[in-house]
């Protein structure tokens, strides 16, 4: 597997010479390297062979905790500060996503976000602004308060890892219930071990296959559109 360099990270092209059926953008955890994701992508690329992968190299803001979760009891102003830092990171990443979509000549309906730790928290934040196929997150945090009105068209698949130490089944149920109440197609699972464990990556591969299928379905609908219908 050969990664190709682009201005903000690395990408892996599928074998096909035509535009990919979907684009998966990986957002790493704070302090992790892109290289740590190489074996993960190698496994997932076999599941979705017509999918392009891109791993962004941007780091988290220095004043934002890796897990993106304010310590319990922190003053509200601290939460606002973290939300502002996340939104700043989103602002920096959006041009990178636009660059990748332009390169592959596809739209955001064929984009899938995958995030680990802080990267997962960031992926959930990006979903509030991007209408993409969905997001898969590992040990992410849903930063509250949510906007009064949200529109998330894509699917959300959450994998919580007991090794993260901060979340259990109760919190997962709370997050799933909170998003489902807003009309989001969301499912989650709590697994033992770290985010890059064998079991987590296997479950992630199954979820990713579902999200990529959603992206490719959107592609078929898009191609089927007849410009003459508007005449």
Q: What is the pLDDT of residues 38-56, one digit of tens each?
A: 889 989 989 998 899 988 8
Q: What is the CATH number of the domain that holds 199?
A: 3.40.50.1820
Q: Which pLDDT belongs to residue 136?
A: 97
What's the distance, CA 195 to chain centroid? 14
- Contact between 141 and 135 (Cβ < 8 Å): no
What's the distance, CA 48 to chain centroid? 16
Across the chain, mean pLDDT equals 77
Q: Tell me: the pLDDT tens digits for 170-179? A: 678 888 998 9
Which domain, by its residues, includes 127? 4-230
Token pair in block for residue 19: 């535009």
Number of domains forming the structure of the chain? 1
CA 191-192-197 angle, 5° bins:
90
Got the DSSP string for 103-123?
HHT--GGGEEEEEETHHHHHH
Q: Which pLDDT belongs to residue 215?
A: 94
Q: What is the value of pTM for the model shown?
A: 0.80
Q: Which pLDDT belongs to residue 44?
A: 93
Q: Say if residue 172 is preceded by a cis peptide, omega within 30 of 0.
A: no
Query: What is the Cα–Cα distance from 73 to 54, expressed in whole angstroms?
Result: 37
Residues in the chain: 231
Quickly tell me which residue has 């009891």 as its tokens: 73
Quickly tell me which residue has 């990748």 as its tokens: 100
Query: What is the Cα–Cα distance from 202 to 187, expressed in whole angstroms?
Result: 16
Q: Which pLDDT belongs to residue 34?
A: 78
Q: Tell me: the pLDDT tens digits for 127-162? A: 988 889 999 999 998 877 777 777 788 999 999 987
Give the chain's residues under pLDDT 70. 1-17, 57-82, 163-170, 218-231
């Amino acid at each position: 597997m050969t990664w190709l360099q682009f201005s903000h990270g690395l990408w892996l092209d599928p074998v096909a010479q035509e535009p990919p059926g979907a684009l998966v953008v990986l957002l790493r955890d704070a302090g992790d390297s892109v290289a740590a994701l190489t074996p993960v992508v190698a496994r997932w690329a076999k599941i979705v062979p017509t999918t392009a992968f891109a791993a962004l190299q941007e780091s988290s803001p220095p004043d934002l905790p890796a897990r993106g979760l304010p310590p319990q009891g922190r003053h509200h102003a601290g939460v606002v500060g973290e939300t502002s830092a996340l939104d700043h990171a989103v602002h920096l990443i959006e041009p990178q996503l636009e660059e990748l979509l332009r390169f592959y000549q596809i739209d955001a309906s064929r984009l899938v976000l995958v995030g680990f730790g802080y990267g997962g928290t960031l992926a959930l934040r990006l979903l509030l602004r991007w209408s993409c196929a969905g997001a898969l997150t590992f040990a992410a945090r849903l930063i509250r308060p949510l906007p009064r009105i949200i529109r998330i068209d894509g699917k959300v698949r959450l994998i919580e890892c007991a090794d993260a130490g901060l979340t259990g089944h109760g919190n997962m149920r709370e997050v799933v219930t909170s998003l489902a109440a807003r009309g989001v197609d969301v499912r989650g699972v709590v697994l033992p071990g770290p985010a890059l464990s064998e079991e987590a990556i296997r479950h992630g591969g199954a979820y990713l296959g579902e999200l990529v299928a959603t992206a490719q379905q959107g592609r078929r609908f898009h191609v089927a559109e007849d410009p003459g219908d508007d005449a």
